[in-house]
A and B are shown apart, each in its own frame.
Chain A
Amino acid sequence: MKLILLKDTDGKKEEAVFQEKILAEMKKENVQGKWQVVRVADMGIYNKGVAVKILPEGFTYTGLSLDDIPALVRTSIKEGRELGEKSYGLKDKQVKIVLRNCGRIDPENIESYLESGGYQGLKKVLLELKPEQAIEELKESGLRGRGGGGFPVWMKWQFARKPESAEKFIICNGDEGDPGAYMDRSVLEGDPHSVLEGMLTAGYLVGANKGYFYIRAEYPLAITRVQNAVEQARAYGLLGENILGSGFSFEVDIRLGAGAFVCGEETALIASVEGKRGYPSPRPPYPSVKGLWGKPTVINNVETLANIPVVFSRGGKWFSSIGSPTAKGTKVFALTGKIKNSGLVEVPMGITLREIIYDIGGGMLNSYDIKAVQTGGPSGGVISREYLDTPVDYENLQKLGSIMGSGGMIVIDESDCMVDLAKFYMNFCVDESCGKCAPCRIGTTQMLEYLDSVSKGKAREDDLPRLKKVAMAVKKASLCGLGQTSPNPVLSTLRYFEEEYLEHIREGKCRAGKCKDLLQYSILQDQCRKCGLCYRNCPVNAITGNNKQGYIIEREKCIKCGNCFDVCKFEAISRG
């Protein structure tokens, strides 16, 4: 069966015309055999005009006009040859390692995982490799922690492997708390066994016999599926005594996080698993030396663990062939914000932000231009659009004042205010600061106060250096990662968008129209056509008048929701 797929990638909906033309042309050429001409909703190609893809040959053409169709039908469809000039060479830029099974296998059935090559990596480690060889393989793979820090996984395991201890532990960190990030949830929900296999592998190599899944309670489905996976693995003898006859025994338990962001920090997480309040403690000693119940403990993020089976089943060398010089493998990002195709993407390390946004994400959602990209959630920062061509890896993002983080990627356009954004994240940090150390507890509140006064037009210009000073102090003096990284959104927005801060302060103006206290809505009487649309859409009846005399906005009543501004078809509402 030949498939001819068709899509207007500019979104002008020209497909139907082209479809008819192709069908007519095929009739004329008397094309034999079985075929279908289908209009598709998404071809993975964006803003390249009308595109046609022919399967099974895989010929792909973009920027087609109706005049191209006869030649295309004759050459590519009838004779099966590629037509040179309109050919589109780019391939799908995603590489699926972590998400290899998500959307393919049945996450509630261990058979489905086994049939797709599951537990083969574990088998290799348990029965074929010596532990030293396995660690060597992991070292060769170049796999680094995906939770944000980017610490080499083999080193962490080696540290925990060394000390003699009757008990050691493996913890899977599934306390995903960054706003807008949900990679870990998807992996736990879509492929729980791969994470379990990663934990088992870690347990064997480190010498631990007990593992804990730490999953936030807000992920009920993930918890159910992990629970189910654990029970099935136990029934299959992949958990318990003497696994696969190797003499290795391992058990896992599930612990639920009660919704504190700080519990994603490893020392606080350990306290929480121990049943204590989720307070962080100073490092060193690191958990790999002195962790859960004071015993050597490996804590790895969900995504890191989901990589492990592939490292062993396909080999460290293969794994290290993907990615950039300093970061190997792939990274899953939760692409959200003002982007057309929001969702999960898995890309090789070293890909540029531009490729992620335009070639995979399909470009901007609205007509506004891109302004920046936020990565790493409240611990990360923004990267302004000038740097969209930077290859994505741990070091590069850090140089730009952001971090890779766990994988949240929020696309920001011109309708977003950077002060407002910084304020949002600071609010989050103030809420989530555990309060144990003063720099974070007091500093984040102080930073929020400064940001709040900027957004209300009440700040002075010399407040900005003070804000920076507080930010630096919090960064240096905080006890744990939450505090140390909490100034990042402020520092990075100041770094790239200081002029927006100054505009708020000097001119009392918010160019994106987000800082409500700086806005005044009024009706431009000479533009107004008296249609009454604003009048009907005002939720608080702040607009008075009628369709003869026109309308005015009563300032005392106006809540600055912007409804009138959005609905007016004649640009007769002024905001500023």
Chain B
Amino acid sequence: MAKLTRSKLEEYGKKAPAKAGRALVRVGMSTCGIAAGAEEVYEALKGAVAQRNLDVDVRKCGCNGKCYAEPLVEVVSGGLPAVLYGKVDKRLALDIIDKHVINGELLNDHIYGIDEGKGE
């Protein structure tokens, strides 16, 4: 990796927040999330994406603070605001991929936050 220069850093600063066309799925993987089973959920999401051959970016992230609802999975896709799902297990993870990511259909009873600012 080449060293970061002033001008390179300036480019990062000017870049508008990435509006990736790709769907983004974030899994809260701090100690609290992992203790609640986030690793299993992360693997399930990764597996589901690979199996269905989808172009979805599944990423780890830190704890967003809603520890009472861990494991947390946030989905940014298809022109919708960022949707945060809580108390996610393996089965719900598959639903998130099949319904929300593929069909843009939000799941009832599992949403713990919707952030319009973070959407596309």
Contacts and interface: CB of A to CB of B under 8 A. Distances in A.
Contact of B62 (A38, A102, A123): A102
A62 B104 CA distance: 27
Nearest to A16: B108
A343 interface: yes
A184 B87 CA distance: 23
Interface stretch (A105-113, A294-302, A411-419): A105-113
A38 B9 contact: no
B65 A41 contact: no
Contacts of A119: 4, 9, 12
Contacts of B86: 41-42
B30 A3 contact: no
A244 to B, nearest CB: 5
A36 interface: yes
Contacts of A222: 31
Given A5-B114, A104-B26, A221-B31, A41 B1 contact: no
Contacts of A244: 4-6, 9
B64 A102 contact: yes
A24 B18 CA distance: 39
A457 interface: no
A531 to B, nearest CB: 34
Contact of A40 (B62, B65, B81, B112): B112
A103 B64 contact: yes
A114 B17 CA distance: 11
Nearest to B57: A106
A187 B103 CA distance: 34
A405 to B, nearest CB: 18
Interface string B55-76: 0000111111111110010100
B80 interface: yes
Nearest to B112: A42
A330 interface: no
Given A189-B63, A221-B31, A41 B111 contact: yes
Given A42-B111, A123-B9, A343-B66, A104 B61 contact: yes
Given A1-B80, A123-B6, A185-B31, A190 B61 contact: yes
Contacts of A86: none
Contacts of B5: 237, 244-245
B118 A103 contact: no
Interface string A119-134: 1100100010000000
Contacts of A36: 105-106
B60 A38 contact: no
A120 B12 CA distance: 9
Contacts of A115: 12, 15, 17-18
Interface residues of A, number: 56
A344 B67 CA distance: 7
B3 A237 contact: yes
A15 B111 CA distance: 13
A149 to B, nearest CB: 24
A189 B62 contact: yes
Contacts of B15: 115
A387 interface: no
Interface string A232-269: 00011110000011000000000000000000000000
Contact of B72 (A103, A105, A108): A103
Interface string B66-101: 111100101000011100001100000000000000
Contacts of B67: 342-344
Contacts of B105: 36
Contact of A107 (B4, B62, B106): B62
Contact of B68 (A3, A237, A342): A342
A101 interface: yes
Given A106-B60, A107-B61, A244-B9, A341 B108 contact: no
A39 B85 CA distance: 12
Contacts of A190: 30, 61-63
Contacts of A238: 4
B62 A191 contact: yes
Given A3-B106, A41-B109, A103 B61 contact: yes
Given A235-B1, A237-B4, 20 more contacts: A15-B109, A19-B108, A39-B109, A40-B112, A41-B86, A41-B109, A41-B111, A41-B112, A102-B64, A103-B62, A114-B12, A115-B12, A182-B32, A186-B63, A189-B30, A222-B31, A236-B4, A237-B3, A245-B5, A341-B68
Interface of B: 1, 3-6, 9-10, 12-13, 15, 17-18, 26, 28, 30-32, 34, 59-69, 72, 74, 79-81, 86-87, 104-114, 116, 118
11 contacts: A3-B81, A36-B105, A41-B87, A41-B111, A55-B116, A104-B118, A114-B12, A189-B62, A237-B5, A244-B5, A343-B65
